[in-house]
């Protein structure tokens, strides 16, 4: 494990250091988002790959975690301080029938919804909560469309900390709300959408609350390990494309950071293309990409049944833009009917996911059809949430015959 990790501004031309004891959300100098800098591993890439595989035979809590097993790329923590629910270790599933149907050579689903609370958030929360505990926090807080709240509540309970979640009133899946309540979180309902909930949290922070949205740079450190695990599962053969749903854009940012660090460490020669997908009624990042603008224009009233990505002002858009550009990727959107059809098609493979995850397959079919994804490509679709996160969507569409 590395001896040091520091936090600095992620903005080009700034790079100012941040004092993590203050749980800063943004750079005190320029207002940019922060990032964790972990020194590159000193171990030879071949030896490092062997070490990670060897840890799979260990019963130590840090090795049983599919996040902390890759701790050479994480901020240092003493093993006794790690807050874990054995997150990570999520499957990579081949789907040859669907690959043939959509017109690509090989299609795989990396299902992050098989994490302890049913979403990718757990991979980031284990690192964020560990840092919160290490910093002496007694209460953690987040704004959420549901998945972050559920994950934060579970890991806070594990760490023995209080949790408070700010949720858009009446706009969160009952299943996700039930999880947060079950794990003991205090719920604060906010009029408006996710962006209003985040504004409420960040504009009037309560004393002693440790902030655990994806603006927290330690969250992204945990989430990036999904890409290390993916490459390990592919025997370090880099796929052509990795397709990711885009909401607040923390996942995209973390994946890009992973690929930058893996290239720098000599573990891969070049990254796969990152393709980011949004719903066409909640697509501020797509609009930025298509316009070539230098600043994202928030979408005031985002609309999509894929509630996990119903976000009009994604906080991590600059980091995500850097990730897409670094990998030579691009950004696109898909319609509501296409999302519903793709979700049903994924279900026909015996794989369940929440609606936001299905944007990936909808996009792959669209992009293979117009030539932006090669017919000879190996494509990985990231599924971010479990099917039972939003069972009402399934029942509604099955009954309507969509």
| Chain centre distance of CA 201 | 20
- Average pLDDT, integer, range 2-26: 80
Look at residue 3 in the predicted model and tell me its pLDDT: 40
Judged against a pLDDT cut of 60, whether residue 401 lies above it is answered with no
DSSP string, 328-395: T-EEEEE-HHHHHHHHHHHHTTT----HHHHHHHHHHHHHHHHTSS-TT-EEEEEE-B-GGG-HHHHH
pTM metric for this prediction: 0.94
Q: Which residues contact 19 (CB under 8 A, 6 or more apart)?
A: none
DSSP string, 168-197: ETT-S-HHHHHHHHHTT-EEEEESS-HHHH
- Average pLDDT, integer, range 191-196: 91
Look at residue 402 in the predicted model and tell me its pLDDT: 58
Could you tell me the two tokens for 358?
A: 């299905």
Could you tell me the two tokens for 402?
A: 């969509």
- Average pLDDT, integer, range 166-178: 94
Could you tell me the two tokens for 387?
A: 């099917």
In percent, how much of the chain has pLDDT > 70?
97
Q: Which residues contact 31 (CB under 8 A, 6 or more apart)?
A: none
Q: What is the pLDDT of residues 203-261, one digit of tens each?
A: 876 767 899 998 899 999 999 999 999 999 999 999 999 999 999 999 999 999 999 99
- Average pLDDT, integer, range 174-182: 96
Q: What is the pLDDT of residues 377-399, one digit of tens each?
A: 999 999 999 999 988 888 888 76
Look at residue 5 in the predicted model and tell me its pLDDT: 60
Look at residue 1 in the predicted model and tell me its pLDDT: 39
The residue among 358, 57, 123, 92 whose CA lies nearest residue 237 is 92
Q: What is the mean pLDDT of the chain?
A: 93
Which string of b and e fits 136-148 if b means at least 16 CB within 10 Å?
Answer: ebebbbbbbbbbb
Determine the 3-state secondary structure of 107 from DSSP: strand
- Average pLDDT, integer, range 56-60: 95
Judged against a pLDDT cut of 70, whether residue 182 lies above it is answered with yes
User: Which one-letter DSSP state was computed for residue 315?
Assistant: T
Rounded to whole angstroms, the Cα distance separating 299 from 314 reads 9
Q: What is the pLDDT of residues 90-140, one digit of tens each?
A: 999 999 999 999 999 999 999 999 999 999 999 999 999 999 999 889 999
Residue with tokens 């999904």: 226
Least confident of 22-26, 183-187, 260-264, 308-312: 22-26
Judged against a pLDDT cut of 70, whether residue 62 lies above it is answered with yes
Q: What is the pLDDT of residues 334-377, one digit of tens each?
A: 999 999 999 999 999 999 999 999 999 999 999 999 999 999 99
């Amino acid at each position: 494990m590395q001896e040091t990790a520091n936090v600095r501004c992620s903005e080009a031309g700034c790079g100012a250091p941040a004092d993590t004891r203050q749980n800063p959300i943004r750079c005190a100098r320029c207002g940019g988002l922060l990032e964790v800098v972990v020194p590159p591993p000193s171990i030879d890439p071949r030896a490092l790959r062997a070490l990670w595989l060897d840890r799979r035979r260990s019963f130590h809590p840090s090795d049983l975690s599919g996040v902390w097993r890759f701790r050479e790329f994480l901020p240092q923590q003493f093993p006794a301080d790690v807050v874990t629910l054995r997150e990570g270790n999520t499957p990579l599933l081949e789907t040859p029938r669907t690959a043939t149907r959509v017109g690509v050579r090989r299609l795989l689903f990396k299902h992050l919804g098989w994490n302890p609370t049913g979403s990718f958030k757990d991979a980031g929360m284990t690192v964020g909560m560990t840092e919160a505990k290490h910093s002496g926090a007694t209460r953690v807080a987040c704004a959420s469309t549901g998945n972050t709240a559920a994950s934060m509540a579970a890991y806070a309970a594990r760490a023995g900390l209080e949790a408070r979640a700010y949720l858009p009133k009446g706009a969160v899946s009952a299943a996700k709300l039930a999880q947060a309540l079950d794990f003991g979180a205090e719920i604060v309902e906010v009029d408006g959408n996710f962006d209003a909930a985040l504004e409420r949290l960040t504009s009037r922070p309560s004393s002693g609350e440790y902030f655990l949205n994806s603006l927290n740079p330690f969250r992204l450190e945990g989430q990036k390990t999904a890409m290390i695990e993916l490459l390990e599962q592919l025997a370090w053969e880099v796929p052509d494309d990795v397709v990711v749903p885009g909401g607040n854009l923390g996942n995209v940012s973390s994946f890009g950071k992973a690929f930058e660090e893996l290239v720098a460490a000599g573990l891969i020669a070049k990254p796969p293309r990152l393709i980011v997908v949004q719903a066409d009624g909640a697509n501020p990042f797509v609009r930025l990409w298509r316009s070539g603008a230098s600043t994202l224009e928030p979408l005031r009233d985002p609309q999509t049944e894929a509630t996990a990505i119903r976000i009009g002002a994604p906080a991590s858009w600059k980091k995500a833009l850097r990730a897409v550009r670094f990998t030579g990727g691009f950004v696109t959107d898909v319609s509501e009917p296409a999302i519903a059809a793709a979700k049903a098609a994924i279900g026909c493979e015996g794989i369940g996911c929440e609606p936001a995850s299905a944007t990936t397959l909808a996009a792959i079919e669209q992009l293979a059809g117009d030539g932006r994804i090669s017919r000879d490509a190996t494509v990985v679709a990231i599924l971010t949430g479990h099917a039972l996160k939003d069972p009402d969507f399934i029942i509604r569409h099955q009954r309507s015959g969509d």
